[in-house]
Structure 1
């Protein structure tokens, strides 16, 4: 089952987000418009426009990652 969440990151948040994603044993994608990057790539996440709301798509469940997403979640 695919999950999608909307998040907003500042440059200071990227390290925490990527570190949390790296601990998951499933794929996590972050995208904005047609740009899609691996959430486990700090350079990839920094290449996105952090002024915009980003969409995170993932297929697994990890309580620590969910808690991290909740910190950055937007309505």
Structure 2
């Protein structure tokens, strides 16, 4: 079981990690959904994924479900 303080980091890696399969947002962008990904990031009041506070990564992951 992950400690609560580590859960946001887990979400971050699910979303943003750069591996051979790509992260969730990278996959969505590649599938032609760049505008929806940008809108999701902007909905957090920022312009870059790296500016989203790690406490919000769970919400960000949930937001990707609405794009799928």
Q: Aligning the two structures, in what range does the TM-score lie when normalised by the shorter sequence?
A: 0.3 to 0.5
Higher relative CO (CA 8 A, sep ≥ 6), structure 1 or 2?
A: 1
Greater C-alpha radius of gyration: 2
Q: Give TM-score scaled by structure 2 length.
A: 0.37
Higher helix share: 2
